[in-house]
Amino acid sequence: MKKLKILYKLMGSSKIYLPIMFITTAIVVFTGLINPIILSFVLDNVVQNEPVTNPILSFVVEKFGGIQSFRSNLWLAGVLVLIFASIAAVAQFIRGKSNGITSETVARNLRNQLYDHLQYLPYSYHQKTQTGDMIQRVTSDVDTIRRFLANQISEFSFGILTIIIAGIILFSIHVQLALLSLISIPFLILYAYFFFKSMQVAFKASDESEAFLTTVLQENVDGTRVVKAFNRERYELEKFTEANIDHRDKTVHMIKLLGQYWGISDLIVLVQSMITMLAGLYFAHNNLITVGEFIIFVSYISFILYPIRQLGRILSDFGKVSVSMDRLLEILESPIEDVETGLTPEIKGNIVFDEVSFHYEDGYNDVLMDLTFEINQGQTVAIMGPTGSGKSSLVHLMTKLYDYNGHIYLDGVELKEIQSRYLRKHVGLVLQEPFLFSKTIYENIRLANPMADMSKVSWAARIASVDQVISEFDQGYETMVGERGVTLSGGQKQRIAIARVIINECPILIFDDSLSAVDAQTDANIRAQLNEMAQKTTTIIITHRVNSAMNADKILVLDEGRIIQEGSHDELIDKPGLYQEIYKIQEGAEQYV
């Protein structure tokens, strides 16, 4: 019931088409059932001259001039059939259009709602979720729901109305023959129910295997460079083939269940038709029913049994929809991040860490432990340490990507109390692995500031020491960078990402090892440009290079989540410790370059 309410809400303004769909379905049912009655009327009342006992039929006959008029003008029956066929065609068109509008509206609203919800889910949610699985849910699972709404709701209504109206007509003609004609209905319904249960399990297995297959494909496409660099094409092919075979086997199992259902249900329907025909011939031979009524029974039995048989298909598709809805509700019911609530104080760049500790949701040990330090407005602070020491985790706390224990104060205001959207607008973060969209360089740089013009974009590019590189491209700033910036080198991508952050002129800039792919000279140029750009900008640089850290006002050295050294370059190289060791190693390496 909950899922149906959600789907009904997603229909939005297209709800108006639901009653239209039901009305047109009723018209299609009525016009489909009327033709055997017309044929029966012609055989029994016009040809055999049997009296008309049905009051409704008698009224219609009188309006057309009586039985004699029909006997003299047999074409009138053909005209009636043509009229009802025309009405059915128009109703079928309106019915199909209503189904299409309703289903496509739900699919559109559902995709938009999913995409919107995904945008506001916490960063930690996306870290533990497979991209391929998310793609499969937002595309394939939504399409499963769309197809169900486009076909099966109206088919279900068609079946129910047909069974009710045809059943009433058959029982009004002959009760015993009607009972014999409907004796297989309980068996069909029971079989449809068991088919629904098994189909639900089979579809879930197939759906999940498709999600894994999508993940394997997406991962391989994203890692094409690595695959080719290490000659892993054959391994990746085998991995994909294995996932593909698994998906095929589970899908084939689902298809076999469907084929089994259609075969057995067809057998039940054919046996029932034979029973009805034999019993009808017996009753007609003994003058218990007329030839026309016999034709009605033979015609109506398929009208009744095939919708019931179709019920199994509808239930199986509903089972698929149920599985798809469960998978989509896992996304929609995941709590989103609150980016609107909180304070919006003036941010200048004074930062205080007071006994800050942090661990990831899936971990038990703290990644950061009791960090306490201060950064004043306008200072440049470098953070160094071995891989896994907690450097990136520390700066991610600054943008509220994770929760933490202890206190972080930004210009005297607790970080947790500041509005997330406002905070991220004033804290610029450049990651080590920048993500560029499949747009032009110009569009990628102004992504953070859509109001920026070309002069502002080129200014940011000059600060990031990438303006000269861009000018050498044939199309300059209008050069398409390809998916994830694949057409650019690592250093070029990093510098464009730096320009994208600089364009906002944030009071706090964080570089998470984002100069690792540029040479030392370019590194020095960028840092010099940054120093000239804004003397009051607080800058945090995560780096493994002493050359990148040596001009910082303060250097923090992390190891295993703790600050083990703090001071300037000159102070730290004179003290035995990790920084001095790194300095000696890098200084010695440079002598051999």
pLDDT in tens, 166-215: 888 888 888 888 888 888 888 877 887 787 778 778 888 887 888 788 88
Residues 23 and 87 in one domain: yes
Final residue before a domain boundary, out of 282, 300, 332 = 332
The mean per-residue pLDDT over the stretch 72-76 comes to 72
Q: What pLDDT score does 417 carry? A: 92
Comparing 28-32, 92-96, 517-521, the range with the smallest average pLDDT is: 517-521
User: Which own/partner contact pairs does 211-214 have at CB distance under 8 Å and 24+ positions apart?
Assistant: 211/130, 211/132, 211/133, 211/136, 211/137, 211/140, 212/132, 212/133, 212/243, 212/246, 212/247, 213/132, 213/240, 213/243, 213/244, 213/246, 213/247, 214/132, 214/133, 214/135, 214/136
Whether residues 368 and 326 share a domain: the answer is no
Q: What is the mean pLDDT of residues 572-576?
A: 87
Whether 344 is in a domain gets the answer no
| Mean pLDDT on 71-90 | 81
Average pLDDT over residues 58-75: 69
322-351 pLDDT per residue, tens: 888 888 888 888 888 888 888 999 998 899
Exposure b/e, 495-531, CB count within 10 A at least 16 = b:
bbbbbbbbbbebbbbbbbbbbbbbeeebbbebbeebe
pLDDT digits (tens, 9 = 90+) for 227-240: 766 677 788 888 88
> pLDDT digit string (tens) for 369-427?
998 999 998 888 989 888 888 888 888 888 888 888 999 999 999 999 999 889 988 88
% of the chain residues with pLDDT over 70: 90
pLDDT at residue 308 tops 80:
no
Query: Which pLDDT score, from 0 to 100, does residue 351 have?
Result: 92
CATH number for the domain spanning 460: value is 3.40.50.300
Q: Say if 337 falls within a structural domain.
A: no
Residue of 248, 255, 254 whose CA lies nearest to 210? 248
Name the more confident of 487 and 497.
497
Does residue 264 carry a pLDDT above 60?
yes
Q: How many CB atoms lie within 10 A of CB 379?
A: 17
428 in any annotated domain: yes
Whether residue 358 is found in the same domain as residue 316: no
Residue 233 lies in a domain: yes
Based on the domain organization, do 365 and 301 belong to the same domain?
Answer: no
DSSP conformation class of 539:
E
**Residues 118, 163 within the same domain:** yes
The pLDDT of residue 161 is 86
Residues 173 and 297 in one domain: yes
How many structural domains does the chain have?
A: 2
- Chain-wide mean pLDDT for the chain? 82
**pLDDT (0 to 100) of residue 591:** 45
What's the confidence (pLDDT) of residue 354?
92
The answer on pLDDT for 593 being more than 60 is no
Q: Mean of the pLDDT values across residues 246-272? A: 85
For 39, the token pair is: 């044929």
Do 135 and 183 have their domain in common? yes
Instruction: Based on the fold, state whether residues 355 and 305 are members of the same structural domain.
Output: no
Sequence-separated (6 or more) residues with CB below 8 Å from residue 459: 503
Mean pLDDT of all residues in 85-94: 91
| Co-location of 327 and 362 in the same domain | no
Residues 207 and 255 in one domain: yes
Q: How confident is the model at residue 61 (pLDDT cuts 50, 70, 90)?
A: low
What pLDDT shows up at residue 518? 64
Q: In which domain, by residue range, is 580 found?
A: 351-591
Lowest mean pLDDT among 52-56, 132-136, 146-150, 541-545: 52-56
For the stretch 357-383, pLDDT in tens is 998 876 677 889 998 999 998 888 989
What pLDDT does 105 receive?
92
Q: Which of 383, 390, 387, 392 is nearest to 366 (CA)?
A: 390
346 part of a folded domain:
no
Q: Which residue has the tokens 């993940």?
A: 215
User: Does a structural domain hold residue 363?
Assistant: yes
- 77-86 burial, b if ≥16 CB within 10 A, otherwise e? beebbeebee
Tell me which of 277, 301, 332 is where a domain ends: 332
Identify the pLDDT of residue 592. Answer: 39
Residue position matching structure tokens 């003299």: 72
Quote the CA–CA distance of 97 and 120 in Å, as a whole number: 35
**Which CATH number covers residue 230?**
1.20.1560.10
- The residue out of 273, 304, 332 marking a domain boundary is 332
99 and 14 inside one domain? yes
Is position 340 within any domain? no
Is residue 483 in a domain? yes
pLDDT of residue 57: 66
Is the domain of 561 the same as that of 462? yes
Q: Is the pTM of this model over 0.85?
A: no
Coil vs helix vs strand at 99: helix
